[in-house]
Chain A
Amino acid sequence: MEIISQFIVLAVIFCNFFLLYSYSPSELVKFTAIQGVLTAALPLLSSSEFEYQASAFAICVIFLKGFFFPLVLNRIIKKNVQYSNGKPHYSGAISALLYLSVFFLSVWLSARLAFETKALAWIIPASFMTIFSGLLLIILRSQTVSQIAGYMVLENGIYCFGSAVFVNQPLMVEAAILLDIFVAVFVMGMAVFHIEREFDDIDSEKLSELKEV
């Protein structure tokens, strides 16, 4: 099982590369979903014995991240042709540079912080990397759907970190956190739908009426 988990951790790291590299929102949603399913599967594989509650919870997370969220976001993307016409703000070389910076920063940070857990190798750098990638997506991408994808990537990273350090929480709290994330994506999706209808645009930079004079 451990070797599969190691492969999953590596896949999570590679997903970050594709997330930072690809500009197309539909590809972003695809890689976010893949990463979400991979991070949700990690606690299942790392557990030595089968637990019904944990398995049911992981299946719910996989359903939400792998099926429901991409469904909502892809419907928004399909409704607006502007998503396929967008041009990247920066070149592939800059994306690669960003990826490398995030990678080295995460490895350095993980080495600096003393972890006394029996976590998988590379899972802590992978989770930090995912968190940083999510933040970069929110900051650097102006398309509204890409920002939602950034939020989901950030959340994938936090989830990955939580499972890496074995933060045990009551099921009620886990469910409340998951419910919050579900509602967050849903409400953001609704907001994007209204933004497209009202502004006839998908770019959050157009939302610039409210500022201090």
Chain B
Amino acid sequence: MIFFINSIAAYSSALFRELSLILTIMPAFLGLISFFLSSNSQRKRVLLTGSFFHFLITLLILSSIFYSGGLDGGQKTSLLIESFSGNAENAVFLFIVSVLFCGASWYGYWYLKLEEKTQREDEEGFILNDEPEAVFVAFMLLFLSSMTLVCFSAHMGLLWASIEATTLFSAPLIYFHRSRRSLEATWKYLVVCSVGIAIALLGTFFLSLASHKSGGSLYLKDLLSCSMYDLLWIKLSFIFLFVGYGTKMGLAPLHTWLPDAHSEAPSVVSALLSGALLNCAFLGIWKTNEIAVRAGIGDFSSSILTAFGMLTIFVSAVFILNQSEYKRALAYSSVENMGVMSLLLGFASRGDNGIYKLIFLNALGHSFIKSAMFFTAGMILMYYKTKKFFQVSNMAERSPFAASLWFAGFILLAGAPPSPLFFPKFFILKFSFMSGSYFSAFLLIFLFSLIFAGFARIFVSMVFSQNAEDERIREEKLILAPSWIFFAAASLLFFAFFYFSRGA
């Protein structure tokens, strides 16, 4: 068995370049093909098959990590990374993108079938006139392709182009229901993110100026080995890239597009936006911070990351506490988790390499839990036809299957064991106390408590509150299979982390 795995890993390692190209191009190719297919059922099958093969190839590529003598980034500079050795973050985020897309395509397959059968109305009572499935499936696959390219980019210019491409390919998906609200959300998303990303392009040019004494190359390999940085330009570059990618990642006060887009998009798209896309933007900040640390401005980048992380957690806590829509509350929870990840990256910039695994844990845990929650939210919206939490009652008796998922999700999202989100939060508090930042520590405890209270108010009311007219709802169970799998995976992460870090 070990010999078998080693052989596969060896082959995958040798074919890393080819496999990464296939992985990037295949979804885009399938997306374009799906435009020209004659039937919707064929398109749905293309979506499912494409995501399955993407996952399979991702596993093959990831297996190269186990191959001990793996390539070490190659000798020449390339636009795409040539191995995962030294690029663990790319591997983790690629895994997240692929797994989530697999779950999303399963959910999307059944969701589109259900949408065909039922005619739904939006909040203003207009009948929803969904986009053609050709557009939906094609843009889903193009979106996957652009996110994959983000994970393989080894050039800051290409990283920028691929992150911008994720915005453009996901915008039509947000407008799927063609309602006024989704149109407004799409417009805000396009304008805010495009301007943000344009600022990141300027930051990328500043980066070239910062390293011009060493040639001004924008290849990550060159930037990370550069010894002569211009301090003024590298600082400016960090600020501009942080603002640009921070807008896309949803860091406060640049997060304004996020609650609108996440709440108005179909739930399958919200799951991908929240679980996969935000991580792609975070990868941009990660790379920027890595360069900043190498350039010797780790303290500077750390202070910016921690300040914005704190502000983001504060903003999310305020808005979750006062939230009346459950999908918006989930969106603000994503904002909160991006704040946590920014805070952790800020701590890691001060030199503690052990924190990186907590960032991975938070990214994996948040992506699994949040996408599962959005899938469930989509079904709740379909059953109860409202996004207002106080108009949904007694889920425990009316739709027990969805209720069990919804409540399990609440426990995991709040960071209570066995949630993998427990450890990152616990560590942040521990680190704050140990470094003598008592005010920050108590403020964070207060903010996390507010978030928990805000969630409890929404979830408990939806699941347990009684109403005289409550009727049992006929539930669709197969569609929510990914939610159970993702929750189980998240819990498994908790136990695995606990087991492996006992001695640490």
Interchain CA distance A147-B190 in the complex, whole Å? 11
Write out the residue numbers on chain B whose beta carbons fall within 8 Å of the beta carbon of A209: 180-181, 184
Q: Is A198 an interface residue (CB 8 A)?
A: yes
Write out the residue numbers on chain B whose beta carbons fall within 8 Å of the beta carbon of A115: 209
Give A23 Cβ to nearest chain B Cβ, in Å: 19
Interchain CA distance A113-B79 in the complex, whole Å? 30
Q: Which of A44-52, A90-98, A160-168 contacts B (4 or more CB under 8 A)?
A: A160-168
Contact of B158 among A135, A176, A198, A204 (CB under 8 A): A176
A181-197 residues with Cβ-Cβ distance < 8 A to B are: 183-184, 187-188, 190-191, 194-195
Do residues A187 and B172 form an inter-chain contact, with CB atoms below 8 A? yes
B154-208 residues with Cβ-Cβ distance < 8 A to A are: 155, 157-158, 160-162, 164-165, 167-168, 171-172, 175, 178, 180-181, 183-188, 190-191, 194-195, 198, 201-202, 205, 208
Give B345 Cβ to nearest chain A Cβ, in Å: 26
Q: Is B260 an interface residue (CB 8 A)?
A: yes
Pick from A116, A144, A174, A212 the residue with the most CB of B within 10 Å.
A212
Interchain CA distance A158-B204 in the complex, whole Å? 10
Do residues B208 and A167 form an inter-chain contact, with CB atoms below 8 A? yes
Write out the residue numbers on chain A whose beta carbons fall within 8 Å of the beta carbon of B164: 177, 180, 184
Write out the residue numbers on chain B whose beta carbons fall within 8 Å of the beta carbon of A176: 157-158, 161-162, 165
Interchain CA distance A178-B102 in the complex, whole Å? 31
Do residues B180 and A135 form an inter-chain contact, with CB atoms below 8 A? no
Pick from A135, A168, A170 the residue with the most CB of B within 10 Å.
A170
Question: Contacts A173-B158, A180-B168 given: A207-B198 contact, CB under 8 Å?
Answer: no
Write out the residue numbers on chain A whose beta carbons fall within 8 Å of the beta carbon of B324: 213
Q: Is B336 an interface residue (CB 8 A)?
A: no
Interchain CA distance A80-B218 in the complex, whole Å? 44
Write out the residue numbers on chain B whose beta carbons fall within 8 Å of the beta carbon of A207: 183-184, 187-188
Q: Is B360 an interface residue (CB 8 A)?
A: no
Write out the residue numbers on chain B whose beta carbons fall within 8 Å of the beta carbon of A199: 180, 183
Do residues B232 and A114 form an inter-chain contact, with CB atoms below 8 A? yes
Interchain residue pairs with CB less than 8 A apart (29): A113-B232, A138-B191, A151-B198, A154-B198, A165-B209, A167-B205, A167-B218, A172-B79, A173-B157, A173-B218, A174-B157, A176-B161, A177-B161, A180-B164, A180-B168, A183-B165, A184-B167, A187-B168, A188-B194, A190-B172, A191-B175, A191-B187, A195-B183, A195-B187, A198-B180, A207-B184, A208-B184, A209-B180, A212-B259
Known: A162-B205, A187-B190. 8 other contacts (CB 8 A): A116-B212, A154-B195, A158-B202, A158-B205, A173-B218, A184-B164, A208-B184, A210-B185
